[in-house]
Structure formats: structure tokens, C-alpha cells
A and B are shown apart, each in its own frame.
Chain A
């Protein structure tokens, strides 16, 4: 059952994670902003995401989604509680290690794509390999492979300005995938897309999920959330499993 190396690490005690180790393990994560008066944006969050899971986090605006996303993406530190990514306790890491961890283990997909307008699709994808010691020579090939994976093998040298929204988001997804991250962290990935293209992107997510990728999608769109394997609701800074009862009807 246990991996061969476990007996050689007696220091780990009873909390040895059973494989597979969770990609995300949050324990009592709270984030308080010290502005007068102090604002608690996130309260005692507990979340475990296992490898290969597809989790959606839903919540209205102002619910603490952004704070939660920043914590997950290592762009912010919790005020209290622990956050382990890939079994690494991120709270003890220096900022530079957190930055490296972010670049190597997390693939970000943003609502506004964040593509560099003057660079081709392949160059935009290759940008993700700039800071993680990938040799220059191999970048173009890796970018081509991953663009083919998202169905854009024919648009390697197209500029984002000449692409449709769906294509742009797929380039962004390819960029997030090129470093083979442990976690694909998507922030409103369909927010800027019409329903047809949004559906294609969601289908792509499902295909990626099927290959074993771990996805966490933050959205306010219940249709998007419904296609995930598991849904977590965030409201007023508190995280709860399942879909909360609809309130107000505002998306």
C-alpha cells in the first residue's frame, strides 16, 4: 500500500499522507485584512482536492472568491491556517520559493486571457517556460504540442488580436498547461465568452480532466459549476460543500 520510501522517513509520524497526496489541502485558512476596522474576507476554510479532481468554487461577487483565488494561487498568504500544495506547506516557504512553486505547479487561466497582443500563440505559450529553466531550444516544440492538445495546432503563428475569444482562451489554457502543472486554476474562464464558445471551453476542460489533470474553476456561473465533478460554495467568506440554495437570483 504505502510507497517504498515511507518507512525511511520516521519523522513524518502518523500524518503520513496516503497516496495520492492531495493537490490542495487547506486547514482552517483565514484571511483578515488589517484595515480599520479589520475585514475577515475568508473564515476557517477547509478544502482538500485530490489529484484528478475537477472542483468548481461558486459564489456571488463579494463573497471572498478573489481572496480565495489569491490564496490558492500563492499570490497572497493566509492570516492563519495552513495551505499545502502538492504536500508542500506553503506557509513556511520564502516568497521566492512560493513564486517558483506558483510558476511550476499552478497553471492560471484568467477571465481576460492575459495574452501579450504582439506575440503569436506559440510565443504566448512559450512565455510560461521563461522563468522555469526550460532550455530555449525546446520551448517552441513544447508550445506546439500543447497547442495541438487544445485544438489550435493550425494557429501557432496567429496573433491574439486575429483570434476569436474562444481561441484566445484556448491559447491561455495551453499556456497554463505547458509546464505540466499539478493544478489548473481557472478564474471565471468563460466570463468573456459567448455561450457556444464557453461550452467548447468547458468541453476542453472535461477532456483535460479525463486525462488526469486536476482542475479548480472559480465561477459565479452555475452552468459552468454544474459540469464540474464537485462543487464548493463560498458565501460571506465561508466555504461550504455543495451548491447553496439560490438567493436573489443574481448570477
Chain B
């Protein structure tokens, strides 16, 4: 009855002839379409989408900024520390077991007389010298021979310090000169004052050849140092040549506070090497008498910096992220309620509940990802700006920056779960009645 041409003109009729289940293929929503629908849903309400982003932007941005600033600051501090630490070696006189020297409270002098020269010959050593506190419990230091005037010198220390040690601490001379091997070899009674000690003693000028008296022994002050790179305690002390001190007062006292030590300034990076060689160079007969301390590991220092405050800030960032998630969840839920009619329409056009859920879930995930990306960008910018402003080197760990946008995605995904389920549960018949 029905001519073929009629069917051909109306393809919807032709389909009915093969009315089997396979004639009704499942509805499908391609990934491209899904993304396009989600994006257009977001772009339709740019203002609302932007506001919704804020929480995630702040959260992710705070995360990146806090971690970036912490690593930058830690890198900076570690850098300035390591510049000195990498070039300093301390050698301590650990001596034989104390029982061996029962007769006296004076320890043996385990550093050889030519200690400075022995270490100075090592490749990478710039200067080295022995020092120890003068062997008195309470040295009386005064600017005049009259012991009654010693009050001004209260609290000052007296250090026996070889000329090499003066070089090794990299003292800055503000007046006069440092003593040298000439004074050392002749046991001359000369002294160099730390700036603080000089101020206490009232010695500011050297042209009158002032003197200081240590326990009644006079020393001619030939120099004043205003700063040192190492052993800052020497600024509060009277420094005398070590040979003079040994000649006058004998060997250093026993005990950690009075032991002789050696300070070595090395080239950058040579500290470890020198630390390994120093004891052998000084006492090839018994290196175990001396112990050279390698500089501390800079990494542990950085870890110490990245401590307490960072935890607090990260907690704040996490709270921001939670607020961001709540914001996205709220907006998406409102959108679901607002767009009930649209949901009903899509269902009438053949969308399955999973397509509806996927659409809203994608919207919230895209929103979260976008927030994560913007937040990461702002966080990185903050770190860089702060670093530039302070003349620091910005340090950003890839493991904090790269996953940051994905943190936003996860926030968006989690936030969208409930609203998209709600959307999937919408009854199309009800929704279309609106």
C-alpha cells in the first residue's frame, strides 16, 4: 500500500519497520559535548561563576604562597648560613681520657706549636689558628695597674689566640693593627681588644699606646677590632698572642669551657675536606687527640625554619579550601534548583540521569580547576613578588606548584557530588510542569 518513495521521504517512518530493541540505541553524551555544555553553563553566569571561584582561588593561592614563601625564606636563610658554615671548621682538643692526667687540672696542649702553619698548608684552608680562654675562672681586666679600678673590666674575657686565629675569624680592624707572628714568636705582651671590650675599658684611641692589665700583667693594646665573621665572643674579649699566654699562664685548663680549639677558615666547599684532614695534619702521631667538626648540614637547618608558622598558615589555607568547596557546592545546588526546567527538558530530549549528573559534576569540577589555576598563578606571583622585593631567590618546589590546580579540581569534584546527584534525581515529569 505505502509506496517506497513515501518512506524514503520520511525517514522517521522507515525506522518503525525494524522495531526491535536494537533500533533504540542508548542515549550518549560525548566528552566534547559534556565539556561544551558545562562550560556554556558557567559562561552564562560569569558573575556568579567568578564569585564562586573566589574561595578556591584563595585556598589554592594560599597553599602555593605559603609553601613557596616558606621554601624561599628557608632557602634564603639556609643560603646565608651555609655561606659561612661551608667555610668554617672547628677543631677541638679532646685529649686523652682525663684519668691519665690526675696530677693537675691543667690539660696537655695537644695542638703542636706550629699548628697554624700545619693546617694553613692544607689545600683549601685560608687561615687557621688556635685559641683558648685564658686559664682563669674570673680574669681581672682593667685599664690601669691599680686593681681597684678593675670594676670596668667585669665580665670581659681574655683569649689566647694565635695570629692565625685572628686571620681565621676575619676580624675587621677599626683601629691599630693585629698582632702577627713577630709578636707571637717573641712572646710579646701585646693585646687586641674587641670593640665591646674596648668600650668598657674606655679605650678608643691607640696613639697614646694604652695598656690593659690582666691579673696585674700589663699588655700594650695595638689594635681594636669592630667585627668578626667567626667567634663573635671575641668582640667582648682581650685577645693576646697564644705563645705569650702559654708563657705567662701555662697550658689551658681542663674542661669544655677552657679547652684549646682551632678555628679554620676554608675556601667555599672545602670545609668537609679540611675537617677530614685537619686532625691528621696537626697530630700525625695521634690524630685521635683532636676532633674536627664538619659544618652542620644545611638541609636540617632549612627544615627547622619550615616549622611552626608554616603549619598554621597551611591550616588556614585548608580552611579556605573547605570554604571554597562549600561555596561551589552551594552555587551548584542553587543552579540545580534554578535549572530544574532545563533538567526536565534535557531528560525529555533523551538525557539519562547520569548525563545530567555528569553535566553538573563537570561544571563544578571545571569551576574548581579554574579556581585552582588562578589560585596557583596568584600564589606563584605572590612568592615571586615577595622574593623580588626582598632581593631573594624565589624557591618553588614543583611538588607544591604542579598539583595545586588539581587540588582545585578535587575540591570542585567533591563539592559537586551532592548537587549533581540531586540533579540526576529530578523527576522529568515534575520538572517539565514548571
Contacts and interface: CB of A to CB of B under 8 A. Distances in A.
Interface string A83-104: 0001110000100110111111
Interface stretch (B6-14, B297-305, B415-423): B6-14
Interface in B275-313: none
Interface residues of B, number: 44
Contacts of B20: 88
A45 to B, nearest CB: 17
A93 B21 contact: yes
A100 B37 contact: no
Nearest to A116: B342
Contacts, number: 127
B24 A110 contact: no
A132 interface: yes
Choose among B11, B25, B355, B429 the residue with the greatest number of A CB atoms under 10 Å from its CB. Answer: B429
Interface string A218-238: 000000000000000000000
B25 A133 contact: yes
Contacts of B257: none
Contacts of A114: 341-342, 344-345, 432
B16 A104 contact: no
Interface in A72-86: 73, 75-76, 86
A136 B28 contact: no
Given A1-B1, A86-B19, A103-B351, A180 B345 contact: no
B241 to A, nearest CB: 89
B102 interface: no
A130 B351 contact: yes
18 contacts: A19-B1, A73-B348, A75-B428, A86-B16, A87-B16, A88-B23, A96-B27, A96-B352, A103-B349, A103-B350, A108-B349, A112-B341, A118-B40, A128-B349, A131-B352, A132-B27, A136-B30, A182-B16
Interface of A: 1, 3, 5, 19-21, 23, 51, 66, 70, 73, 75-76, 86-88, 93, 96-97, 99-106, 108, 110, 112, 114, 116, 118-119, 127-128, 130-133, 136, 175, 180-182, 211-212
The 9 residue pairs across chains A and B that have the minimum distance between CB atoms: A103-B350, A87-B19, A118-B44, A131-B350, A75-B429, A131-B27, A180-B12, A86-B16, A114-B345
